[in-house]
Structure 1
Amino acid sequence: MLNLPNLHHVFSQRQTLNMMNKFQILPFLLVFFCSCLDVKASKSRASVVPVRLQCEYLENPTGIDVPLPRLGWILEATDKTGFGQGQTAYRILVSSTEKLLQKENGDIWDSGWIDSDETQQIQYGGVALQSDRAYHWKVQVKDENGVVSAWSEPAFWTTGLFDASEWQASWIGSGELYNTAAPGNNISDPWFRKTVELSEKPRKATLFVASVGYHELYVNGERIGDEVLAPAVTDHTKRARYVAYDIADQLKRGTNVIALWLGTSWSIFPPYILQKDRPLTPIVIAQGAIYREEFPSGEAKPMAVVATDASWITHPSPNRLLGKWDFAKMGGEIWDARKELPQWNTLACDESDWNPAIEYPTTLALSAQLVAGNRLFDEITPVAIEARPDGSYRVDMGVNFAGWTEIKVSGQPGDTIRFQYSERQQDDMTFNLHSAYVVGASGTGTFRNRFNYSSGRWITIRGLKSKPAIQDIKGWMVRTDFQNASQFECSDSLQNWIYDRIRWTFENLSLGGYIVDCPQRERMGYGGDAHATSETGMFNYQLGAFYTKWMQDWRDVQGTEPMVGNMLDPNHARKAVTSGRIWNNGVLPHTAPTYWGGGGPAWGGIVVTLPWFMYQHHGDKQVLETNFHLISEWLGFLQSHTKDNLLQRFGGQWDFLGDWLWPNATAEGMNNDKPETLCLNNAYYVFNLRTAAKIARVLGKVAEADQWEQQASASAQAVHTRYFNAGDDSYADGSMANLAAALLAEIPPPAVRERVMQRLEREILEVRKGHIHTGITGGALLFKLLREAGRNDLIYSMVSQTTYPSWGYMKENGATTIWEMWEKDLPGHSLLHSSYLYPGAWYIDGLAGIKRDPEVPGFRRFIVRPPLATATDVTWARATFHSPQGLIGSYWSREDGRLKLEISVPPNSVAVLELLPSEQIDRTSYGSMKEIPGRDGFLRYELQPGHYRLTSQPAGL
């Protein structure tokens, strides 16, 4: 019998090129959904048991600094054949120790029985949390009949430091300073160490480490944790994020060595180095109390405190950044094995040539890293190695990826072995990505990334005397360690390929708690690109913490001027600390946490749409509250640049882009001064206003909602008056982008809306012969519109093409990732990019038919609507989706004129099945299913929790 937890483990493992073959197991998940649950609490009389406990969207998070964290769980059915399972009440216990929790003693918080069916976003309500403590919790519920469930498995969270005054440590760094005038990086990645005497082995010790630049932590020679490229990327003119490390097991009685290794990386990022109160070198702050007791009371004194200060000592490591950490100069790393000190982090180290660390006071705020760290995924091995006439070796890794490589080398001491990384078969190196290894006295060694990463498919190796073996080379994707949410497959192999490559590309872009535009050239978190990825992300991964963190990044960068002026000009820096140009307090750059690069209103506008998407998806009201001021200030900034209710062009050359990277965009030139751009940006402004008004309504902010709705109506009328082409039922240039933006923003008056939609249909099917003709922004708006309108036929037309421009064209041209542009061979453009990932959401909510209910956030109620028989050539599709309420399953097929369905509805939720009258189903075997009033020409059926197998009636019956 299949075991659901084991299946979840299988589905969580990312495949590279052969993932589609693994989907053969998916039919069993749906067919045997009700019979394969292995629930330990099945002896309980209740129909459900709470599982997958989370705190602030994370499982067992450590070092959090949220005084009132939010808790959540999902319900798993214990009745394998039942229907209608739900929750009517819950009780949460939070205890200071595991033993007290086992005894059901909630000394920190016993919520008592709360009559509620809520399972997510439940705010902690116990005694005030203390810094640097562990809290253990569990939950039990009452089912739909009031029967009490078994307790959940225990979970925990640990706290960080709640108050800035608790930080007694100092920021430290080495004496090596980065020279901005040098052609490359001139500083080493420094080591730091400190010895600590302990009278006995401790039971509790957590070290909090924040750094500007990446870091690794060691205790007595042992690396702590498996997170890489820590911490998550942050605006280092504003804050630094700390990571909590449990080091108790590695400490011992007597003398201990605590060591830190810093990577240069973001510490020399040009916009960050304009900050005047910190040095141009990586710096670190670390602090931790060491206790005899595993569960110290609030008054317990630690046996020792570790804190960075001038008593630490430092030494250059053999590793150094190659590059400037700048546009197309991210470089790589060079390891000089001649400088190795194998015992640098142990007691045996000779400290005679180490120097005192230097204290560097800064004003950076310190915050907990409330997002999973980066980790290694998907070991990749070469598919071919070619020896070339010039003595180099060309390695084909078989797939384009962003991550680490490990390469065994040999040579004479002092030889330099060089590695060049390329996305393109014809080029030895793209985007100046390269690394190197200097051979030491042994004549052999292994290069491995540590504080940088490469991106590409091919590696050119220079300096080796003999051809490496395939087993001598390995690669790994590096990404944020979020959990998978969905799986999908269908009868159309091209759609399976597109879905798989979109997911692979998305994962390779999720480095450091935000989505980079490209991992090789810029590594920027563009807001415009976020539109192309955010709903794809939400429908395929569990990203609540990820997007919560990214929204904090956007709050941090607000008030920073975008691209106007020279990037290295001090006038470009943050307005709060320099005398640069101030437009308005609500101004936003086009990227976060990086405030760099070009864009337009749709880039900053992500601060309105992303919180709304999160609310719809997770039912998270707090994300609306936390970002409401950010939203209000942004709309105020836009309002200050309007005339006669129309948004005016503002900023410099790169500050008012509309759509971007549409087919043949390079030849047509930038579009920021053209009427079609003014039309699109004004439509987007209206879309922002309408979305913000919905947010204000949810929060009960009536005045703001009224104001934004009135402005949206006035601006919509102005846009229609200025840009509508009455003879053609189009807007501005008649492009897909402008048609979609106008429709999504509800610009057309009701009397003409249907005609404008028909004009869009004609643009896709007739003018463009079924092909897409948009870029990043326009495409995201187009797919959003068509998904919400249920126009699977128009989407399928675009995703089923194999000629330029299309995703199928990428496949036909050997792509293993989604490109930056519809064209392949234009120099300077990336082949692994966020531009065109927007179909990723459609495979789940369109082709598989699992849709959010716009009136009920958080999937407490959701819609299942298979595509119409005439919409696609697909004959069957199946998907599973881990919603905030639990696992939803959808499988449909059409054969001999009949529709067959299998639908899994998780406990505590309701599904609404929508079908055409011609595919009316026989529901007589399911008393938990009832017909409800139809809508928009669809029959509608309400399905209570459970598993359903349904078949449409033959035509004429």
Structure 2
Amino acid sequence: MDLHAPFIRASAQYGTFAHPIPAPYLRRSFVCDTAAEATLQIGALGFYELFLNGERITKGAFAPYISNPNDIVYYDEYHVTLREGENVVGILLGNGFTNNQGGHIWDFDKADFRTAPQVSFALSYTDSEGTVQTIVSDEQFRTAPSPIVLDDYRFGEHYDARLEIPGWNLSGFDDSAWTPALPAPMPSGEARICEADPIIVNRELTPVSIVKEGDGYRYDFGENCAGVCRLTVKGEAGQKIDMRYGEELVDGALDQKSIWFVGEWTEHDWPLVHHDIYTCKGGKEETYTPTFTYHGFRYVVVTGITEEQATPSLLTYLVMHSDLSERGSFSCSDEMANTLMTLCRRSDLANFFYFPTDCPQREKNGWTGDAALSCEHMLLTLSPETSYREWTRNICKAQADCGSIPGIVPTGGWGSKWGNGPAWDCVLVNLPYFVWRYRGDLTIAKESAASILRYLHYLTTRTDKNGLIAIGLGDWCPPARGADDYKSPLVLTDTITAKDIADKSAALFYALDMPLQQKFAEELSAKLRAAVRKRLIDRSTMTAAGNCQTSQAMALFYGIFEPGEQSAAFDRLLALIDEQDGHMDTGILGGRVLFHVLTAFGRSDLAYHMITRTDFPSYGNWVARGATSLWEDFQPEGGTLTSHNHHFWGDISSWFIQSIAGIRMNPYAEDVNEAEIRPSFIPQLNNARGAHTAPAGEIVSAWERDGDTITLHLTFPEAMSGRIRLENGWMFKDGTCEKPAVTGDYTIVPVK
């Protein structure tokens, strides 16, 4: 079978909030002369739910994928069993990404791929005489409106149970009143089977409290995650139950303003923000779970119910995300750090729906910079590489002819004039680089090598007369200021990031045996570094332009200073931290590297203090103020907070594993089966344990303190090589400071 069966649809007209069109049912009945195994391929512009003889067989939520169909059209393949006699294929279609009714800010409503949902279907089996029979999407499929009267995957879903059609996907159903499906145009994108991890319901939450709010009831689930609520109710026919979702309470009531762009929407939009509506058919207990939407939330305010209906069993939180397995963990004697690890994991998963999203409640966009910042810690703690590979294909397709990358992928065209630049575009290199470094897999690098080279050439066209670059977004979201009110000059963060892109590209080209491309990348890196050193470094004080924590930390982390200059440059960083009374004062670019720089110079204790302290600004301050996920901003009490669920600050989970537990995978970027164990025995902790499952097996580094003595418990795969290297001030009991990494227990004491 190939992926070119015709597309069909119920109508050419796509719905709007002002004039919604119900999600269509499609069905096709056919007769088999024998039971048979069959291969089924289905692709959709929009989302589909697939049924065979009444059984839902869809791989997961929001199938097949979220993409620009002008770039890639996604299909899923199933292997099913047909029964002798009548068989029925049933399909329910949702708007998905190709009819973004609430997409005004990112121009999705203007996208040239906007269309009513449509589907391509092919099923092949061998009959009793050995003849291959094929059923494809054509006018023999019949269609009717479903009870989903409005659906938008950002905003919500409206379902009227009175419109249900019992037995619509079963044999024996009379569909003579249904209308034939209409042929739909073939999309222009590359057709391919989706390989990304499916989206699943991982766990269920019950409410921790239910309180009266206005004319409804507020359900608090205790955690800010992503997913939907399953409604279970016995109501009256026509009873309309309204569910509004949100992350925070303001003055004791649910507040949605911080999670949407107030003032940017029409009168039809605002009442629909994070809003599901269910209309009861009445008579007996009913269960409803939204199909084509999800929300980021902790709280749900339910109106339209009676006091008797406001029970804990009314709503169950179905927590959803891509089906990623756990690969790394950290715990220690300080509950603050343990809580922060939980918040990192929660936000990482809540923001992974096929690809990393910036937030699950507002945009649900694949912001490239967010993913570039988080990919290392996600690879340390989760298994995203298969989904990264699929998304990288979309990133490469979205690349402009000049080499630039839009700030969001997929996009309908928005994000090429604003919202990108090196610190965001580096996702093109960071994903294949870190997948190669942590998993030893060069597949993504091979597939994206041409795009990486094109991007490097693009950078050479964007340098100014001084060899510097300043074309994109900078050190986003600094504390207590506007998102773009950063201290570090854009010319510094862009040029240093461009240098890092060239460095990582050179490493990938070396691994791919592409010497000419490697040389080009190395020469570009050298030119960019030289330009920064000449124009943006004060050699008399070893201070990077901007005179701030981000500038100094980035210059140190990315190798701008010579070895003989680094001590003075680090002292300047310490002074800048001291000027802020030991607080962090960076946006996301500086925050990604600051704590690793402190560890590199033996100050993990200071990094830990900055992370876990509870006064503003700090991660610990978020926890002290009730955070259950990572916030987008470091704002003081009373400041304007936007998203309460972002993953781009989550690299502290990587820092905990790499610096406190000391698990440094592939430290020289040469061998995925090599690791260095270099823990930090900081005075704030009595014990710590980190783990990471490498391709060769699980590494566990756990240490505990007994007075002045440290016992290190190490589990290290036999197929791996590496060293245990102790930080200054510590030695093994035999007086050495370094040993081969081998499973066992090690006694470590202070250097006398």
Matches within 5 A, 1:442-591: 442=283, 445-467=286-308, 468-511=310-353, 513-559=354-400, 584-591=401-408
**CA deviation vs aligned residue, 1:674-730 (integer Å, no higher than 9, x gap):** 871112111111221222222222223333322332232222222222222345432
Match of 1:282 in 2: 117
- The reply on whether 1:841 has 2:654 as its aligned counterpart is yes
> Structure 2: how far apart are the matches of 1:738 and 1:955?
34
Match of 1:760 in 2: 573
- Percent identity between matched residues is 26
Say if 2:73 and 2:191, in contact at 8 Å, map to a contact too: yes
**CA deviation vs aligned residue, 1:751-800 (integer Å, no higher than 9, x gap):** 42321122112222x12222221122221233454566665234212212
Match of 2:710 in 1: 899
Match of 1:188 in 2: 22
Match of 1:137 in 2: none
For the residue of structure 1 that corresponds to 2:27, the secondary structure is: strand
Select which of 310, 317, 321 maps to 2:139: 310
Say if 1:631 and 1:692, in contact at 8 Å, map to a contact too: yes
Match of 2:221 in 1: 397
Q: Which amino acid aligns with 1:476?
A: L
Match of 2:461 in 1: 640
Say if 1:409 and 1:417, in contact at 8 Å, map to a contact too: no
Deviation at 1:341, TM superposition (A): 0.6
Match of 1:428 in 2: 254
For the residue of structure 2 that corresponds to 1:267, the secondary structure is: coil
Deviation at 1:883, TM superposition (A): 1.0
Select which of 375, 391, 409 maps to 2:233: 409
Deviation at 1:409, TM superposition (A): 3.3
For the residue of structure 2 that corresponds to 1:428, the secondary structure is: strand
For the residue of structure 1 that corresponds to 2:28, the secondary structure is: strand
Deviation at 1:740, TM superposition (A): 2.0
Say if 2:249 and 2:255, in contact at 8 Å, map to a contact too: no
* Structure 1 segments of 4+ aligned residues over 6 angstroms from their partners: none
For the residue of structure 1 that corresponds to 2:627, the secondary structure is: coil
> Structure 1: how far apart are the matches of 2:427 and 2:683?
31
Match of 1:715 in 2: 528
Match of 2:199 in 1: 374
> Structure 2: how far apart are the matches of 1:302 and 1:775?
64
Match of 2:97 in 1: 266
> Structure 1: how far apart are the matches of 2:740 and 2:109?
58
> Structure 2: how far apart are the matches of 1:487 and 1:762?
33
Match of 1:173 in 2: 9
Deviation at 1:408, TM superposition (A): 2.3
RMSD of aligned C-alpha atoms? 2.5
> Structure 2: how far apart are the matches of 1:825 and 1:188?
42
Q: Which amino acid aligns with 2:740?
A: E
Scaled by the length of structure 2, the TM-score of the pair is 0.91
Structure 1, 420-429 or 852-861: larger mean CA deviation: 852-861
Q: Which amino acid aligns with 1:939?
A: C
Deviation at 1:301, TM superposition (A): 5.6
Say if 2:371 and 2:648, in contact at 8 Å, map to a contact too: no
Q: Which amino acid aligns with 1:260?
A: I
Deviation at 1:360, TM superposition (A): 1.1
Say if 1:790 and 1:846, in contact at 8 Å, map to a contact too: no
**CA deviation vs aligned residue, 1:723-748 (integer Å, no higher than 9, x gap):** 22345432222122111222233222
> Structure 1: how far apart are the matches of 2:620 and 2:8?
52
Matches within 5 A, 1:86-105: none
Match of 2:88 in 1: 257
> Structure 2: how far apart are the matches of 1:342 and 1:949?
64
Say if 2:633 and 2:641, in contact at 8 Å, map to a contact too: no
> Structure 1: how far apart are the matches of 2:454 and 2:117?
33
> Structure 2: how far apart are the matches of 1:781 and 1:475?
36
Match of 1:941 in 2: 739
> Structure 1: how far apart are the matches of 2:241 and 2:602?
55
> Structure 1: how far apart are the matches of 2:91 and 2:500?
48
Matches within 5 A, 1:293-304: 303-304=132-133
Say if 1:490 and 1:876, in contact at 8 Å, map to a contact too: yes
Say if 1:900 and 1:951, in contact at 8 Å, map to a contact too: yes
- The reply on whether 1:344 has 2:175 as its aligned counterpart is no
Matches within 5 A, 1:15-26: none
Select which of 614, 637, 641 maps to 1:802: 614
Say if 1:796 and 1:872, in contact at 8 Å, map to a contact too: no
Say if 1:689 and 1:711, in contact at 8 Å, map to a contact too: yes
Deviation at 1:554, TM superposition (A): 1.0
Match of 1:205 in 2: 38
Match of 1:360 in 2: 184
> Structure 1: how far apart are the matches of 2:47 and 2:596?
37
Say if 1:391 and 1:462, in contact at 8 Å, map to a contact too: yes
- The reply on whether 1:234 has 2:67 as its aligned counterpart is yes
Match of 1:952 in 2: 748
For the residue of structure 2 that corresponds to 1:305, the secondary structure is: strand
Identify if the C-alpha distance between structure 1 residues 853 and 526 changes in structure 2 by more than 3 Å, giving closer, same or farther.
same
Deviation at 1:855, TM superposition (A): 2.6
Say if 1:188 and 1:316, in contact at 8 Å, map to a contact too: yes
Deviation at 1:648, TM superposition (A): 4.2
**CA deviation vs aligned residue, 1:915-936 (integer Å, no higher than 9, x gap):** 257543358xxxxxxx9xxxxx
Say if 1:619 and 1:857, in contact at 8 Å, map to a contact too: no
Identify if the C-alpha distance between structure 1 residues 784 and 614 changes in structure 2 by more than 3 Å, giving closer, same or farther.
farther
Say if 1:407 and 1:446, in contact at 8 Å, map to a contact too: yes
Say if 1:279 and 1:360, in contact at 8 Å, map to a contact too: no
Say if 1:373 and 1:481, in contact at 8 Å, map to a contact too: yes
> Structure 2: how far apart are the matches of 1:496 and 1:361?
53
For the residue of structure 1 that corresponds to 2:86, the secondary structure is: strand
- The reply on whether 1:221 has 2:221 as its aligned counterpart is no
Identify if the C-alpha distance between structure 1 residues 237 and 940 changes in structure 2 by more than 3 Å, giving closer, same or farther.
same
Q: Which amino acid aligns with 1:174?
A: A
Match of 1:419 in 2: 243
Identify if the C-alpha distance between structure 1 residues 882 and 750 changes in structure 2 by more than 3 Å, giving closer, same or farther.
closer
**CA deviation vs aligned residue, 1:90-115 (integer Å, no higher than 9, x gap):** xxxxxxxxxxxxxxxxxxxxxxxxxx
Deviation at 1:443, TM superposition (A): 6.7
> Structure 2: how far apart are the matches of 1:301 and 1:360?
32
Deviation at 1:848, TM superposition (A): 1.1
Scaled by the length of structure 1, the TM-score of the pair is 0.72
> Structure 2: how far apart are the matches of 1:549 and 1:826?
38
Match of 2:266 in 1: none
> Structure 2: how far apart are the matches of 1:808 and 1:955?
32
For the residue of structure 1 that corresponds to 2:313, the secondary structure is: helix
Q: Which amino acid aligns with 1:280?
A: T
> Structure 1: how far apart are the matches of 2:581 and 2:123?
64
- The reply on whether 1:614 has 2:435 as its aligned counterpart is yes
> Structure 2: how far apart are the matches of 1:843 and 1:350?
61
> Structure 1: how far apart are the matches of 2:553 and 2:275?
42
> Structure 2: how far apart are the matches of 1:825 and 1:480?
34
Aligned positions, number = 723
Q: Which amino acid aligns with 1:232?
A: Y
- The reply on whether 1:626 has 2:447 as its aligned counterpart is yes
Match of 1:123 in 2: none
Match of 1:83 in 2: none
Identify if the C-alpha distance between structure 1 residues 826 and 291 changes in structure 2 by more than 3 Å, giving closer, same or farther.
farther
> Structure 1: how far apart are the matches of 2:31 and 2:138?
17
> Structure 2: how far apart are the matches of 1:784 and 1:954?
23
> Structure 2: how far apart are the matches of 1:791 and 1:310?
69
> Structure 2: how far apart are the matches of 1:744 and 1:953?
30
Say if 1:615 and 1:858, in contact at 8 Å, map to a contact too: no
Say if 1:411 and 1:465, in contact at 8 Å, map to a contact too: no
> Structure 1: how far apart are the matches of 2:224 and 2:591?
24
Deviation at 1:640, TM superposition (A): 0.5
> Structure 2: how far apart are the matches of 1:613 and 1:861?
15
